[in-house]
Structures are given as structure tokens and as C-alpha cells.
């Protein structure tokens, strides 16, 4: 057609008509090449780089992807280690709960709290292995989180119970009320004076009249006075269902309602009431049932030794 082709003359900065037919032809070729290249780039873009122009970049991403997968594998291994550590904690938790007299965590609660089925995670990654690794790691992490939370709750419970027990252990009768020969044991026996078989609801400790008698656990004095064949007696309510009785006394140093601590001197032994010879009659009751006092003290720990033990303990805790 009559279309004219121009070129820029850089010497005098003017458009000049290209008149040379050869030059026109060369320009046509040049334009065709430019268009073809453009077309190829567009085609390559929409067909996912069949010409491999982005190969270097893709390879770099692939390397990074592999590295990430390796890291995910390391993570998964770490999670497995933590899992076995948590499992060990759960085992210790069981023992600790038993030690403080708490029931082990119910298996059902464990399942509800932790979840027996692992949660499903989806990231829609094109790499199947990476998808699997990532999903597994997330599932493990979330299970661990729930386990640790349950464990934390249990430890709080154990600590509370431990504090209660500490309080309880101070109250439960646990020492001898005095040092003396044991003549009459707990259980059925022929009464030395009445001559009939009867339940002996305590133990008799033979001592001279006027031997100091000590409280065997923390508590509140619930009775002081004369009671039939018991003579003068002191009764201490230790709480937690425990009551102790100290009978045939010659003198009481405590009054009803008074708080006493284990090892406090509460009375002097004697021979009041129905006795053949001076001795201390000592009883331990739990929930209204007489207990064998032998189960409530270590024979080698008498009040003096107990005080020594407490003193030593205090010195240790005071850093002396
Ligand atoms: Zn007795």
C-alpha cells in the first residue's frame, strides 16, 4: 500500500521517509522477530514455562522446598521426643497422685481432654510429602498442647492435695504420748480387775505417777475431766476424723477448747479410775472406731526424740 516508513535522523533530529526498499524489508523482518518473541514469551507464561526460561528460579524453589521438608522431618522427630517426655510425665503424674492419695486421671477424661483421634489439618500444598509432614506436625503439636494443659491441671491438683496432706499429717496422731513399757495391747483381753473378757480400746503404758504426757498430733482439746473407770482424762480432737484419749491422769495442763501441737505437754500420768497400778491408758479413734494405737506411732519415736527431730528439721530449714 502507500504506507510510508520513516526513520529518525539523529544528526538533525528529523523524521525522514525511508525510501530505500531494502531498508523497508529489514525493518519488516525486525518487527516480525519482535512480535514472534513477544508471542513466545506469552505462550511460555501460559503453558508453565515449556521453554524453561524460569528453570533456574524453579530449581532454586525446589531446593528450598526440599530444605523445608528436611526441617519438617527434624521438627517431627523433635515432637516425637517431646511426646515421649510428656508420656513419662504422665506416668510420674500417676505415681504422684497416688502418693498424695488422689485417684489417677480417669482414662475417659484423658481421652476427652487429649483426644484419642488426631486432628486433621489441610494446607493444600502441591507437594504431597510436604503436605503430609506439615499436617502431621500440626496434629502432633496440638495433641501435645492438650496433653501439657491436662498435665498442668493435674499438677495444680496434686500441689493443693499435698498442702492439705501436710496439714493432715500434722494432725494425725503419730508419736508415743510418753516413753513407757507397753503392758496391755489393743484388742480383746481379760480385764485385770473386772476379770471379764472385753475389748481393750487402747494401749497401756506403764510409768510412775507424774510422768509428763504429750499430745500425739495437732488438735483441739475436746474434753478434760473425770469419766468413770478412765479417771481423769484428756481428749483431743485432731480433725480429719481422729480423736485421742489419755486416761488415768493425775493432772491436766490443758483446758477444753485449747489448741495443742504434737509434742505439747498436756498432762501428768497417774492412777485415777479403775487401775491396779499407775499407767497411761492411750486410745486412738478414727471416725468413731477405736484403732490400734500401735499403728499410730513408731515405737522408737518418743516425745523427746520427736522434739529432737523437729529441732533438727528446723535447724536444717533455717540453714544452720
Ligand atoms: Zn488401758
How far, in Å, CA of 267 to CA of 232, rounded? 10
Average pLDDT taken over every residue of the chain: 86
Query: What residues are neighbours of ligand 1 (ion), with CB under 5 Å?
Result: 204, 281
Q: How much is the pLDDT for 213?
A: 96
Q: How much is the pLDDT for 2?
A: 59
Q: How much is the pLDDT for 248?
A: 97
Q: Is residue 122 over pLDDT 80? A: yes
Query: What residues pair up with 280 in beta bridges, in sequence order?
Result: 205
Q: Work out the average pLDDT over 95-120.
A: 76
CA 285 / ligand 1 centre spacing (Å): 14
CA 184 / ligand 1 centre spacing (Å): 7
Q: Work out the average pLDDT over 19-26.
A: 78
Report pTM: 0.61
CA 281 / ligand 1 centre spacing (Å): 4
Reduce the secondary structure of the chain to three states and give it as a string. CCCCCEEEECCCCEEEECCCHHHHHHHHHHHHHHHHHHHHHHHHHHCCCCCCCCHHHHHHHHHHHHHHHHHHHHHHHHHHHHHHHHHHHHHHHHHHHHHCCCCCCCHHHHHHHHCCCCCCCCCCCCCHHHHHHHHHHHHHHHHHHHHHHHHHHHHHHHHHHHHHHHHHHHHCCCCCCCCCEEEECCEEEECCCCCCEEEECCEEEECCCCCEEECCCCEEEEEEEECHHHCEEEEEEEECCEEEEEEEEEEECCCCCCEECCCCEEEEECCCCCCCCCCEEEEEEECCEEECHHHHCCCCCCHHHHHHHHHHHHHHHCCC
CA 268 / ligand 1 centre spacing (Å): 16
CA 312 / ligand 1 centre spacing (Å): 33
CA 92 / ligand 1 centre spacing (Å): 45
Domain chopping of the chain, boundaries: 6-46, 55-171, 181-317
How far, in Å, CA of 178 to CA of 200, rounded? 19
CA 272 / ligand 1 centre spacing (Å): 12
User: What confidence category does residue 282 fall into, taking pLDDT thresholds of 50, 70 and 90?
Assistant: very high
CA 204 / ligand 1 centre spacing (Å): 5
In terms of CATH architecture, what is 181-317? Distorted Sandwich (2.70)
CA 208 / ligand 1 centre spacing (Å): 15
CA 270 / ligand 1 centre spacing (Å): 12
CA 200 / ligand 1 centre spacing (Å): 6
How far, in Å, CA of 249 to CA of 211, rounded? 9
Q: Is residue 113 over pLDDT 80? A: no
User: What confidence category does residue 118 fall into, taking pLDDT thresholds of 50, 70 and 90?
Assistant: low
CA 175 / ligand 1 centre spacing (Å): 18
Q: Work out the average pLDDT over 152-178.
A: 91
Q: Work out the average pLDDT over 287-304.
A: 81
CA 258 / ligand 1 centre spacing (Å): 25
Q: How much is the pLDDT for 244?
A: 97
User: What confidence category does residue 320 fall into, taking pLDDT thresholds of 50, 70 and 90?
Assistant: very low
CA 205 / ligand 1 centre spacing (Å): 8
Q: Give me Rg for the CA atoms of the chain.
A: 46
Q: How far apart are the first and last CA of the chain?
A: 115
CA 36 / ligand 1 centre spacing (Å): 118
CA dihedral 161, 165, 167, 168 (to 10 degrees): 130
CA 311 / ligand 1 centre spacing (Å): 32
For 183-241, what is each residue's pLDDT tens digit? Answer: 777 888 877 777 778 788 898 999 999 999 999 999 999 999 999 999 999 999 999 99
Q: How much is the pLDDT for 257?
A: 97
Q: Work out the average pLDDT over 75-94.
A: 89
CA 236 / ligand 1 centre spacing (Å): 17
Q: Is residue 305 over pLDDT 80? A: no
User: What confidence category does residue 117 fall into, taking pLDDT thresholds of 50, 70 and 90?
Assistant: low
- Contact present, 218 and 197 (Cβ < 8 Å): no
Amino acid at each position: 500500500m502507500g504506507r510510508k516508513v520513516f526513520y529518525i535522523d539523529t544528526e538533525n533530529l528529523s523524521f525522514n521517509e525511508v525510501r530505500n526498499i531494502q531498508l523497508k524489508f529489514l525493518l519488516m523482518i525486525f518487527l516480525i522477530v519482535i512480535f514472534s518473541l513477544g508471542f513466545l514469551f506469552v505462550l511460555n507464561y501460559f503453558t508453565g514455562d515449556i521453554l524453561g526460561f524460569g528453570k533456574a528460579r524453579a530449581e532454586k524453589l525446589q531446593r528450598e522446598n526440599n530444605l523445608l521438608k528436611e526441617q519438617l522431618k527434624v521438627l517431627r522427630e523433635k515432637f516425637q521426643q517431646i511426646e515421649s517426655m510428656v508420656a513419662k510425665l504422665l506416668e510420674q503424674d500417676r505415681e504422684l497422685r497416688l502418693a498424695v492419695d488422689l485417684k489417677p486421671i480417669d482414662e475417659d477424661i484423658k481421652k476427652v481432654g487429649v483426644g484419642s483421634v488426631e486432628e486433621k489439618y489441610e494446607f493444600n500444598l502441591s507437594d504431597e510429602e510436604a503436605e503430609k509432614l506439615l499436617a502431621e506436625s500440626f496434629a502432633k503439636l496440638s495433641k501435645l498442647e492438650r496433653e501439657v494443659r491436662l498435665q498442668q491441671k493435674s499438677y495444680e491438683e496434686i500441689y493443693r492435695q499435698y498442702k492439705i496432706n501436710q496439714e493432715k499429717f500434722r494432725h494425725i496422731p503419730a508419736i508415743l504420748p510418753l516413753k513407757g513399757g507397753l503392758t496391755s495391747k489393743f484388742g480383746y483381753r481379760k480385764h485385770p480387775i473386772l476379770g471379764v473378757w472385753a475389748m481393750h480400746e487402747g494401749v497401756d503404758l506403764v510409768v510412775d505417777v507424774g510422768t509428763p504426757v504429750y499430745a500425739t498430733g495437732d488438735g483441739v482439746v475436746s474434753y478434760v475431766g473425770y469419766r468413770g473407770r478412765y479417771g481423769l482424762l484428756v481428749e483431743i480432737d485432731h480433725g480429719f476424723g481422729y480423736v485421742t484419749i489419755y486416761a488415768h491422769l493425775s493432772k491436766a495442763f490443758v483446758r477444753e477448747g485449747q489448741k495443742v501441737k504434737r509434742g505439747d505437754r498436756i498432762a501428768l500420768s497417774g492412777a485415777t479410775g479403775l487401775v491396779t497400778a499407775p499407767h497411761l491408758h492411750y486410745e486412738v479413734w478414727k471416725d468413731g472406731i477405736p484403732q490400734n494405737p500401735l499403728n499410730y506411732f513408731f515405737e522408737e519415736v518418743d516425745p523427746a526424740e520427736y522434739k529432737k527431730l523437729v529441732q533438727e528439721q528446723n535447724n536444717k530449714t533455717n540453714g544452720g
